[in-house]
Amino acid sequence: MTLWLRVRRARTCVAVALALAASLLLTGDLALPIPSLRVGSTLALPFAFLLPLAVATVVAYALGAGDPRAEAVACRPMRLLDTAYALAVAALALGACGLLWAADVSDTAPAAGRNALGYVGLTLLGRRLVGPHAAPILPVGFVLLTAMFGVRPGVERDWWAWPLAGASDPVAWLFAGAFLLLGAAAALAGTGADR
Amino acid sequence: MELAFEQVTFRYRRSARPVLADFSWQVPPGRTVLLGPNGAGKSTLLALGADALRPSSGRVRFGDLCPARGRDRAAYRRAVGWMPQQIHAVPGLRVQEQVAYAGWLKGLSRREAWAAAATALRQVALSDLAERKTSTLSGGQLRRVGLAQVLVHDAQVLLLDEPTAGLDPAQRARFRELLAALPPERPVVVSTHQVDDLTDLFDTVVVLDDGVIRFVGTVAEFMGLAPAGGGARPAEAAYAQIVTGER
Amino acid sequence: MAVQTILRISPAAWLGPILALVAMGYARIIYPATYDPYPLALTSVAGWTVSVIGPTVAAFGAWEGGRLHRAGWWGLPHARPAVVVAGASLAPVLVAGLGALGAAIAIRFADAGVLAWPDLRVVGVETCVVTAQALLGFAIGLRLRPVVAVPAAFLLMFTWMALPAAILPVWLDFPTGAWAGCCAIDSDLAPRAVVSAITVVVGFLVAALVLLRQPFARIQFGLASLAAALGIATGLWLVRGMDSNPTVPRDPSVLVCAPGPPEVCVWPEHRSRLATAARVVAKVAPTWLAAGVPLPARFSEEWSEVLPSSTGRVTIRSDNEEEIVLSLARGVLPPVPPCALRSEVPYFGFEARDYVIAWLVDVAGVPPDRYASTHVNGDKILGTVAAVRALPPDEQRAWLAGNLAAMRACGVAPPLEPAG
């Protein structure tokens, strides 16, 4: 197990999850301009909503960091272990963000933590849909899509653009959780004999 | 217990043509060399045997264990050791750690895996490199790591895909010694496209071509196929006779 | 590489058309620095799309680099130089990126109905930015696994392009090469901004070349980061302290003028309004002179920190005569003295300006409510102007002189309300 955690870059993953929280402290309410094509202007996308992409990327990196052929014929339940590992990293990121919120030092931290859950879910889904090399493209692409098309004139945002929602939006939490579960289910379900 | 392929058909995704079609074969006891040209289906066959690939139809079994059945899968995978053609150096791991990791993947405890890794490295003469990062090894050294990975757990059947590719003559001799030292009751299948690898060490020669077994027999029977006056390389002549003569 | 192969394997080839559509959509929603058909402004606004195009081509480049990384090709002893091998891989990426930039420029010019060449300096800089980011992305892809390289290349480049625009001071944004604030019709692109953006491009190119170098050692990551950081730092140093836009006054030699006195000069994009402006000047100048208004020898659209006192600054925004009168009235006023921007001594000239403009407009025969109605103190201004206009000419001159004096210097109280 110790070796497996080393192979899965556990230290790096923990560091990135904690760095997410530290970055939230540093960046505060900073928002980056991004084109919102349906509104017809630039949207100020909170940096805190982008930062959790680092967590999703490091999870994708860690899950692909082993020996794919040896792991493909392993006797141990590698899919289960890997899925649990991804969920644990997402939970750690959420927990770190939760601590910031509890300490009343960051208002955007809960939303960032929520997005970390959703992005990790999308990454797990991406591993199944587009393969392990391209998996993080799914959450990155989804964030861009929501920023460009998820806001309409006169409407704060579309229902599906959950990464842009504030922390108090229960539907966004539902979506993020649903994506995490969907990703976990996709990672556990297999059609081949790869794990 | 034998490893058996029963009416196995397999095709890669996006490929209309199957690599193996309705293929049946039972791995014989002892040491088998699997010969065949590039693209014959040797690696696919061994990967199917290792449960790294799953047949489109038909089944692979080891005794009563069938990897398609969830309850048999772990036991099946523990029973079959597979050395793939390409050995992956896991970034950050040292040689002994990588071999121990392979043991852990096959169900050994951490302590067992660590001890078994040391033994396996001795078998492949890599003990002196145990602390080296695998990413710094040469191609031949990495193949020996692959061999150690397959020896680290006590598999009942070994499937070795091109184990001598990239090894120097001394290491090839060492590999033959290693093969000879393995208990004869443990079936071993060694795939190669180099007929130079063929020695009396093997009990059975199988020639696979285009997903079809063209020849099964002893080394002597195989050599007997070489045309009279076949020159200094009778094995090559026999091989050519099988692979090209029947087409 | 054969076109068929590129179309089959390159994400840049599949996603290039989508990138072009996004760039076109983006180019249409950015507010330009001017609504005049000024090619530089149109090119700069379209060029701002590099903030999306650059990171996207970096990601495409990382994917192409990752392809060679996985194939283990880079370490082979190629007969061709490394940059040529990289160039072949990056060709579809550059076509996608530069195609999107071209599409953005084309749509912006088409929307404005302008048939002119885009500004080649901006096009050149944006081309360099796109190329450098694609090559840096390629180098990152070559050295990191694609699973990390693609998102890392995108997010790093996106952060570089977007973050400076989100923080102050404003000039932090200039080295990115995305200059939406360039340029009002009386201004030109600041050479410092161009040099600054090129410096960052050079930093990125050097970083990419360091990463491409074989054999690879980890220290190259450090050296590449250093090269990029040095490029950015030098770029920022070059534009430090600049104004809110990366601009300098436009070369006045391109002005087109109608003879006076007073002479009227406009930018070539306003050439069609020159005749009307000259006619209005010919009509109002004698009236203002008779009312004691000191007229400049020349009304001009040129802008400079220090205009000669003989030049009154105007902006001929349309053919509407009343708007031209209003602009001329502004041009008659003395420039704001430097002391007004400091706080040691109070400056009352800003308040006086509104009253004097309304008075000048009224003298020129245009109802003063055209100007004052939009003003917060509109009723008060109109009341005062009516009162002043009821005074004898000498007293009106004295009122005007007192207010102009308050505009020229600090600490001078204007006689807003007429005496008596």
Please indicate if any CB of chain A lies within 8 Å of the CB of C182: no
Give the span between the Cα atoms of B218 and B220, in whole angstroms: 5
Q: Is residue C216 included in any domain, yes or no?
A: yes
C355 pLDDT above the threshold of 50: yes
For β-strands B57-62 and B3-10, DSSP reports them as antiparallel
Chain A environment of C10 (Cβ under 8 Å): none
A163 pLDDT above the threshold of 90: yes
Q: Which three-class secondary structure state does DSSP give residue C266?
A: strand
Chain C environment of A8 (Cβ under 8 Å): none
Nearest to A7 among B75, B101, B107 (CB): B101
What is the reported pLDDT for C342? 77
| Structure tokens, A8 | 């899965």
Tally the domains of chain C.
2
Distance from CA of B232 to the nearest CA of A (A): 39
Residues C189 and C338 in one domain: no
Chain A environment of B78 (Cβ under 8 Å): 75
What is the reported pLDDT for B92? 86
Q: Is residue C156 included in any domain, yes or no?
A: yes
Please indicate if any CB of chain A lies within 8 Å of the CB of C154: yes
Q: Which of A45, A140, A148, A152 best tests the C interface by mutation, with the highest count of C CBs <10 A?
A: A140
Nearest to A57 among C148, C162, C167 (CB): C148
What is the reported pLDDT for C37? 87
What is the reported pLDDT for C221? 94
Going by C-alpha positions, the residue among A95, A111, A98 that lies closest to residue A161 is A111
Residues C240 and C293 in one domain: no
| Structure tokens, B96 | 């002994």
Sign of the CA dihedral C361, C365, C366, C368? positive
Chain A environment of B52 (Cβ under 8 Å): 69, 72-73, 193-194
Q: Is residue C92 included in any domain, yes or no?
A: yes
Chain A environment of B55 (Cβ under 8 Å): none
B246 pLDDT above the threshold of 90: no
The stretch A59-72 carries a mean pLDDT of 92
Please indicate if any CB of chain B lies within 8 Å of the CB of A11: no
Give the span between the Cα atoms of A126 and A143, in whole angstroms: 14
- CATH architecture of the domain B3-245 equals 3-Layer(aba) Sandwich (3.40)
Residues C314 and C234 in one domain: no
Closest residue in chain B to residue A66, using alpha carbons only: B90
**What backbone phi and psi angles, to 5 degrees, belong to C256?**
-110, 135
Q: Is residue C60 included in any domain, yes or no?
A: yes
Give the span between the Cα atoms of A28 and A47, in whole angstroms: 8
| Alpha-carbon distance values, B131 to B93, B136, B167, C175, C177 (Å) | 9, 11, 21, 48, 50
Give the span between the Cα atoms of C71 and C184, in whole angstroms: 51
Quick one: pLDDT band at residue A192, thresholds 50, 70, 90?
A: very low
C372 pLDDT above the threshold of 80: no
Q: Is residue C274 included in any domain, yes or no?
A: yes
Q: Which three-class secondary structure state does DSSP give residue B39?
A: coil
Is the CB of B53 less than 8 angstroms away from the CB of A3? no
Sign of the CA dihedral B88, B93, B94, B97? negative
Chain A to chain B, count of Cβ pairs less than 8 Å apart? 72
Question: pLDDT tens across A101-124, in order?
Answer: 999 888 899 999 999 999 999 999
Give the span between the Cα atoms of C106 and C118, in whole angstroms: 9
Quick check: C262 and C299 in contact, CB under 8 A?
yes
A26-62: buried (b, 16+ CB within 10 Å) or exposed (e) per residue?
A: ebeebbbbbbbbbbeebbebbbbbbbbbbbbbbbbbb
Among C186, C218, C250, the domain-final residue is C250
HSE value, Cβ hemisphere, 13 Å, CA-based, for C76:
10
Give the span between the Cα atoms of C337 and C407, in whole angstroms: 8
Quick check: B222 and B215 in contact, CB under 8 A?
yes
What is the reported pLDDT for A112? 96
Residues C208 and C131 in one domain: yes
Q: Amino acid identity of C276?
A: T
Quick one: pLDDT band at residue C83, thresholds 50, 70, 90?
A: confident
Count CB-CB contacts under 10 A for residue C361: 24
Percent of chain A with pLDDT over 70: 97
Q: Amino acid identity of B60?
A: V
Counting Cβ atoms within 10 Å, is residue B14 exposed (0-12), middle (13-18) or buried (19+)?
exposed
Residues C77 and C167 in one domain: yes
What is the reported pLDDT for C4? 81
* DSSP state letter for B6: E
Q: Amino acid identity of A174?
A: L
Residues 6+ apart with CB under 8 A from C158: A32, C51, C52, C55
Residues C387 and C240 in one domain: no
Is the CB of B52 less than 8 angstroms away from the CB of A193? yes
Residues C127 and C36 in one domain: yes
Q: Which three-class secondary structure state does DSSP give residue A106?
A: coil
Percent of chain C with pLDDT over 70: 99
Among C250, C279, C300, the domain-final residue is C250
Question: pLDDT tens across B73-122, in order?
Answer: 999 999 999 999 989 999 889 999 999 999 999 999 999 999 999 999 99
Average pLDDT, chain A: 91
Residues C260 and C370 in one domain: yes
Residues C228 and C262 in one domain: no
| Structure tokens, A62 | 């860690």
Edge-to-edge, what's the strand order for the sheet holding C311-313? C256-258, C263-266, C298-300, C311-313
For β-strands B31-35 and B204-209, DSSP reports them as parallel
Quick one: pLDDT band at residue B1, thresholds 50, 70, 90?
A: confident
Give the span between the Cα atoms of C16 and C34, in whole angstroms: 30
Please indicate if any CB of chain B lies within 8 Å of the CB of A88: no
Please indicate if any CB of chain A lies within 8 Å of the CB of C381: no
Chain C environment of A59 (Cβ under 8 Å): none
Average pLDDT, chain C: 89
Q: Which three-class secondary structure state does DSSP give residue A32?
A: strand
Is the CB of B101 less than 8 angstroms away from the CB of A193? no
Q: Is residue C175 included in any domain, yes or no?
A: yes
C307 pLDDT above the threshold of 80: no
Q: Is residue C419 included in any domain, yes or no?
A: no
The residues on B that touch A, with CB distances below 8 Å, are 50-54, 67, 73-75, 77-78, 80, 82, 84, 86, 88, 90-93, 97-98, 100-102, 104-107, 110, 113, 149
Residues C316 and C221 in one domain: no
* DSSP state letter for C186: T
Distance from CA of C78 to the nearest CA of A (A): 26
Residues C257 and C396 in one domain: yes
Q: Residue C37's domain spans which residues? A: 3-250
| Structure tokens, B28 | 């014989």
Give the span between the Cα atoms of A34 and A26, in whole angstroms: 21
Task: Write down the domain spans for chain B.
Answer: 3-245
Is the CB of B102 less than 8 angstroms away from the CB of A70? yes
Distance from CA of C53 to the nearest CA of A (A): 12
What is the reported pLDDT for C420? 55
What is the reported pLDDT for A193? 47
Quick check: C139 and C156 in contact, CB under 8 A?
no
Among C250, C272, C295, the domain-final residue is C250
Give the span between the Cα atoms of A94 and C174, in whole angstroms: 36
Nearest to B54 among A66, A74, A193 (CB): A193
Question: pLDDT tens across B132-185, in order?
Answer: 999 888 888 898 899 999 999 989 999 999 988 877 888 888 888 888 888 888
Chains that touch B (3 or more CB pairs under 8 A): A
More confident site: C337 or C45: C45
Phi-psi category of A9—alpha, beta or left, where left has phi over 0 and alpha has psi -120 to 50?
left
The stretch C125-148 carries a mean pLDDT of 95
What is the reported pLDDT for C70? 83
pTM for this structure?
0.87
Edge-to-edge, what's the strand order for the sheet holding B31-35? B80-83, B157-161, B188-192, B31-35, B204-209, B212-217
Going by C-alpha positions, the residue among C46, C141, C139 that lies closest to residue C98 is C46
Percent of chain C with pLDDT over 90: 49
Quick check: C112 and C149 in contact, CB under 8 A?
no
How far apart are the two ends of chain B, measured CA to CA in Å? 35
What is the reported pLDDT for C419? 65
| Structure tokens, A173 | 């939490």
Residues C213 and C268 in one domain: no
What is the reported pLDDT for C339? 83
Give the span between the Cα atoms of A123 and A143, in whole angstroms: 12
Nearest to B52 among A1, A66, A69 (CB): A69
The stretch C405-416 carries a mean pLDDT of 85
What is the reported pLDDT for B112? 94
**ipTM (interface predicted TM):** 0.92
Q: Which of B229-233, C106-110, C386-390 bottoms out in mean pLDDT, i.e. has the lowest?
A: B229-233
Question: pLDDT tens across B189-243, in order?
Answer: 999 877 776 777 889 999 999 999 999 999 888 888 877 765 667 788 888 888 8
The stretch B32-53 carries a mean pLDDT of 93
* DSSP state letter for C117: P
What is the reported pLDDT for B242? 84
Torsion angle of C-alpha atoms B148, B153, B158, B162, degrees rounded to 10: -20
Q: Is residue C83 included in any domain, yes or no?
A: yes
What is the reported pLDDT for A185? 96
Question: pLDDT tens across C21-77, in order?
Answer: 999 999 988 877 777 889 999 999 999 999 999 999 999 999 999 988 888 777 777
Chains that touch A (3 or more CB pairs under 8 A): B, C
